[in-house]
Structures are given as structure tokens and as C-alpha cells.
Amino acid sequence: MRVNALDHVNIQTLDLAATVKFYSGVLDLAPRDPPPPLDPNLVQWLYDAEDRAIFHLTTPGSIMGDGGKRELPTDTGPVHHVALNCSGHDAMVERLTSLGLDHTLNHVTAIDLKQIFVRDPNGVLLELNYFSGNH
């Protein structure tokens, strides 16, 4: 048995519209309706340019296995951030600045990795990584 890759990250939100707007408008991810029986009014999947569903955005009570709970979960552990391999560093800095979104820049010079840290509308910390050649 082996893990081949990270499949997706599920983010529970009380404001699906604002969260979809952030991931589509800021990160250029394409929102699409989920497969049945999931309700597209309660769940949206966000796809990258390679047609991979990177984020599943869900509202409390909308996914199987959550027991129909209607509040945000408090038992899913201490995940600190989600890191994404990106390209177009300068354009992203300009976009975040123009949108007035707080962000932090970092440069790991030893490996020429530029990073941007930004939070989504739910407080999820995103680490946008720009490796050498993808700045």
C-alpha cells in the first residue's frame, strides 16, 4: 500500500458563496457542481487548470458521514495550513493587494522558494509556494 498523492482538501463553511468567490476569484480555481447525491446549493468543488478537484467546499450537514450536523466541526484536529504549488508570484501579490487581502511574503533563499501566506474567508491559512522557475 502507498499514498499516490493528496486528493483534495475539504473546507466546511457557513458562507459557501463567499468561499467559492475567494477560491475562484483569487486563486483562479473553477467551481463546479459535485456529483449526486450531493446538493450543489450546499457543496461546490473547485478545480485547478489540470482538471483536478483541489478543494471540496461544503456546508455543515451537507456531506455523508457528518451525521447531519448543522454547525462547523470542532473535532477535525490541528491542521495548520494548506500549501499549494503555484506560478505567477508577482501577479498574485498584485491581485491580493488590489483586493485588500492581508498577506505575508517570505523568500526561502536557500532553495529560491517564494511564498505568500493568505487566509480564506473561513480563516484557513493558505501557503502559496512559487518554486524557482515559477516566480
Domain at 38, CATH number: 3.30.720.120
Asked if 38 and 86 sit in the same domain, the reply is no
- What pLDDT score was predicted for residue 79? 82
pLDDT at residue 67 is higher than 70: no
- What span, in angstroms and rounded, lies between the C-alpha atoms of 10 and 3? 18
56, 75, 94 — which closes off a domain? 75
Q: Which domain holds residue 49?
A: 1-75
Lowest mean pLDDT among 14-18, 58-62, 125-129: 58-62
- What pLDDT score was predicted for residue 63? 76
- What pLDDT score was predicted for residue 84? 97
43-47 sheet: strands from edge to edge: 9-12, 53-58, 43-47, 30-32
Q: Which tens digits make up the pLDDT trace of 21-38? A: 999 999 999 999 999 999
Name the average pLDDT for the chain. 92
- What pLDDT score was predicted for residue 110? 96
Cis peptide before 37 (omega within 30 of 0): yes
Q: 113 — phi, psi (to 5°)?
A: -110, 120
Asked if 3 and 16 sit in the same domain, the reply is yes
Report the pLDDT averaged over residues 62-73: 68
Q: Check if the beta carbon of residue 15 is closer than 8 Å to that of residue 121.
A: yes
Residue 88's nearest CA partner among 133, 124, 22, 25 is 133
Asked if 63 and 88 sit in the same domain, the reply is no
